[in-house]
Structure 1
Amino acid sequence: MASEFPKDIGQPPVGGGGMIGRIQRLILKPKDEWSAIDAEPMTVQGILMGWVAPLAAIGPAARLIQSQVFPMSVFGVTWRPPLIGAIVTAVLTWALAIASTYVWALIIDALAPSFGGTKSQISALKAAAFSGTAAWICGIFGILPFLGILAILGLYSIYLFWVGGPMLMKVPQDKAPGFIIVSIIVGAVAMVVASMIALAIGGAMFAMTPNAFGPAGGGTITVGGTTLDTGKLNDAAAKMQAASSSMEASVKGGNGAVKAVDPGALQNLLPGSISGWNRTSVENQGGAAGGIGGSNARAEFQSGDQSFSLSVTDTGVLGNIATLGGALNTSSSKQTTTGYEKSEMQGGNMVEEKWDNQSKSGSYSVLVASRFSVEASGSAPSIDTLKSAVASVNLGQLQSMAK
């Protein structure tokens, strides 16, 4: 028997009741169903707990079963993750899928006015929650390894948002493409952040604080000792709104457009030499697509049989997406038998590093002012060499260029 649609979300139209009926109509006749969804009175709790929670559980549950019943096997070596760790990771992934949906809704709500739309927390949450339906349902294909490729059908969720997002947020048709593209990019980043958190603390116990999914501006989610304060998301939303305005201006070529720094200027920031290392080559390039530009300068350094590259990249307005990670105060750390990987916010900049002691190689990067990426990558005596290479670039000057 199909489960009844939560009362506080409103009764579905005649022609098939319950959640199953709504899913069928949303997939087969999305435009008509979006109109019905737009007109129905709903609540934050009803949408998250009555729609997102059950559907978002499909994928994690399927992958949990797959990991235990059909363990990974490569070249005759079979690996099955510990049951407790797999269960905790599945629950974390599920909980964070709900949280990231709420985060995405906050940002959609903040972006709408920049594209001529209307702010509405409930409408934004409807757009985020119901457009994810196809992707969550396709999570069932994760139960069998050979069916995993079918998960690509979940991309139908992009089409669902394409149809319903602008409609619910009252975005004019001529501005809808920009609104959709920016919103989808941010939504994808939110999911990546959620996955990073789940993987980083997959072996820890989790706890969710009461009213975590309450009204905007309040509530926290505590997961394995890591707390996400939804109040901080307002800052992220404001920054994303500014980024979207710049992106829209860039696409149209109007005032306020962010222009990439000349690649020659970036090349001038690269050192001619580094103590003990000779610069063997240097190059720069720049370009734009759809009015959104970027530029890059890169140099190669060598000492004996070791070498690494040092690059400076202007990501333009797209770099502002990284502010989401900063607002969530996310970090991750992974230890391997021969090295480590970690990422964290330092002084408002996202820092990532990776090192392998066996191959004596790795990478170190800093994202300055949510725009300029400075990265050293290759082989060296230690990670300190790569850190020193990045430090040889005047980060303060890059900070000034971002203004």
Structure 2
Amino acid sequence: MNIVERAKSILLSPRPTWEVIDTEQTDTASLYTGYLMILAAIPAVCGFIGMSIIGMGMFGVSMRVPFFAGLANMVVSYVLSLVGVYILAVIIDFLAPRFGGVGNRLQALKVAVYASTSAMLGGVFALLPMLAMLSVLTGLYSIYLLYAGLPILMKSAREKSVGYTALVIVAAIVLGLIVGAINALFMPRGVGPWASGDTPNVSVRTPGGEVTIDGGGIAAMQRKMEEAARSMEKASAQKDPAAMAAATRDATAAAASMLGGGKALGAQTLKAALPEQLGGLARTGFEVQDGTALGLPTSQASADYGSGERTVHVEIMDLGGLGAMAAAAFGMAQGEKEDQHHAEKTWQEGGRTLHESYAKDGSSAERKMALKNGVLISISADNMDIAALRSVASQLDIAALERLQRPAN
């Protein structure tokens, strides 16, 4: 894939390009390394140049963010933008069935990645801070790209595209507030809304819950960020790549820790919740992914169970403190829909948000849960009816997963 041609086509001919993307064979690694990681560098690098090298000023007074503070901000904002796109994909995936669509994590990631093209390219305006507001326009066009892509890739009903897009945008705004708060930690005092000594809490209410950024936690995290920035400066002076990597990891981990819960649960902890047998079916394989080594607030464990054509796939994911935001967004779409072939329902029960979707002929069924602590569970099956899937789900120790506490920072 030519990144320049793809960016040009999604901007100039979005609908035909979404049709191509819909059938395109790819994977998460290719989407990140071949596209997103390159585009996400534009706002991060241009922001660093604009704020720390060019600077901003008016009426004869100029100001620059200190070099190493700006460098730390660039690294963390870059990493969090990559994490943020994945979180948005999780939300798109969870919401899809509510709007007549089909849940598919890879398709959702395609939507999140390519819809962000306009916003990412708009990061070039950060080179001149006085023009940074123009990036709002490119962000608005990304909303249109999202609106155009959801019904094509997620198979959602076109008449529900406005509602689907609106809920995803609400989640994106919450995510943007959190990332903006983290980025502001690298600003010197007196710059930005988080610079004053008394830092308030920021709460965003949604129909599915409330997401709060802890003002007191921001001050504590700022001290950790400053320590990481000093470590980065020292490592740079010593030309020590290993120390630079460690300081960057510490800065990212500190940023993640203020997102309502800090680090993610260990992936091995999640794997322990996947038994050798489930519903009389033997485990045929598993996969574990853990971002804690990089300071990222994500962990995931999944397993496949099967016998003949009857198969079950279980996935447990923790997004650290961002899990609360994902759960809140998931809870915004409650309701039910049914026809002669298919039924689905999203509801809240005991503080959890649940979603079921199944074919009435027993050919497939799916059950998703957002637990009170933000852990997300997805169970899907082929050649199994919803009653059997519920029985399978009941054999997972959901209560134990919900009691898990994230590690302290």
TM (norm. structure 1) is 0.52
Q: What's 2:154 paired with?
A: 169
1:302-313 equivalences in 2 (<5 Å): none
Shift in CA distance, 82/30, structure 1 to aligned 2, threshold 3 Å: same
Q: CA deviation at 1:190?
A: 1.7
Q: CA deviation at 1:24?
A: 1.0
Q: What's 1:251 paired with?
A: none
Shift in CA distance, 256/238, structure 1 to aligned 2, threshold 3 Å: closer
C-alpha distance after superposition, 1:137-178 (max 9, x if no partner) = 011011013332321221210110010022111101122211
C-alpha distance after superposition, 1:201-249 (max 9, x if no partner) = 553232279xx9xx998422567x784546224964454323222699x
Counterparts of 2:336 and 2:132 in 1: how far apart (Å)? 35
C-alpha distance after superposition, 1:324-365 (max 9, x if no partner) = 99749xxxxxxxxxxxxxxxxxxxxxxxxxxxxxxxxxxxxx
Counterparts of 2:373 and 2:180 in 1: how far apart (Å)? 16
Amino acid at match of 2:329: M
C-alpha distance after superposition, 1:75-133 (max 9, x if no partner) = 54432222111111101101100000000001110011111110101000000000000
Provide the alpha-carbon RMSD of the alignment. Answer: 3.6
Amino acid at match of 1:206: T
- The answer to whether the 8 Å contact 1:206/1:222 transfers is no
Amino acid at match of 1:245: Q
SS of the counterpart of 1:92? helix
Counterparts of 1:108 and 1:218 in 2: how far apart (Å)? 21
Shift in CA distance, 68/244, structure 1 to aligned 2, threshold 3 Å: same
- The answer to whether the 8 Å contact 1:166/1:180 transfers is no
Q: 1:60 aligns with which of 31, 37, 44?
A: 44
Q: What's 1:206 paired with?
A: 248
Counterparts of 2:64 and 2:112 in 1: how far apart (Å)? 34
Shift in CA distance, 30/227, structure 1 to aligned 2, threshold 3 Å: closer
Structure with more contact order per residue of length (Cα contacts < 8 Å, sep ≥ 6): 2
Q: 1:108 aligns with which of 89, 92, 98?
A: 92
- The answer to whether the 8 Å contact 1:97/1:191 transfers is no
Q: What's 1:182 paired with?
A: 167
Q: CA deviation at 1:184?
A: 1.3
Q: What's 1:244 paired with?
A: 333
Q: What's 1:49 paired with?
A: 33
Number of residue pairs aligned between Structure 1 and Structure 2: 239
Counterpart check, 1:122 vs 2:99: no
Counterpart check, 1:197 vs 2:182: yes
TM (norm. structure 2) is 0.52
SS of the counterpart of 1:206? helix
Q: 1:232 aligns with which of 309, 312, 318?
A: 318
Shift in CA distance, 30/128, structure 1 to aligned 2, threshold 3 Å: same
Counterparts of 1:129 and 1:80 in 2: how far apart (Å)? 32
Q: What's 1:219 paired with?
A: 290
- The answer to whether the 8 Å contact 1:117/1:171 transfers is yes
Q: CA deviation at 1:60?
A: 1.3
1:3-402 equivalences in 2 (<5 Å): 5=1, 18-154=2-138, 155-200=140-185, 202-203=225-226, 204=228, 205-207=247-249, 218-221=289-292, 227-229=297-299, 231-233=317-319, 236=324, 237-245=326-334, 327=374
SS of the counterpart of 1:244? coil
Counterparts of 2:112 and 2:287 in 1: how far apart (Å)? 15
Q: What's 1:301 paired with?
A: none
Amino acid at match of 2:83: A
SS of the counterpart of 1:101? helix
Structure 1 segments unaligned to the other structure (5+ residues): 6-17, 249-254, 259-322, 329-403
Counterparts of 1:84 and 1:185 in 2: how far apart (Å)? 33
- The answer to whether the 8 Å contact 1:193/1:325 transfers is no
Counterparts of 1:227 and 1:242 in 2: how far apart (Å)? 21
Q: CA deviation at 1:199?
A: 3.4
Amino acid at match of 1:153: L
Shift in CA distance, 324/75, structure 1 to aligned 2, threshold 3 Å: farther
Q: What's 1:299 paired with?
A: none
SS of the counterpart of 1:158? helix
- The answer to whether the 8 Å contact 2:98/2:346 transfers is no
Q: CA deviation at 1:69?
A: 3.0
Aligned-pair identity (%): 29
Counterparts of 2:127 and 2:78 in 1: how far apart (Å)? 15
SS of the counterpart of 2:72? helix
Counterparts of 2:72 and 2:178 in 1: how far apart (Å)? 17
Amino acid at match of 1:166: P
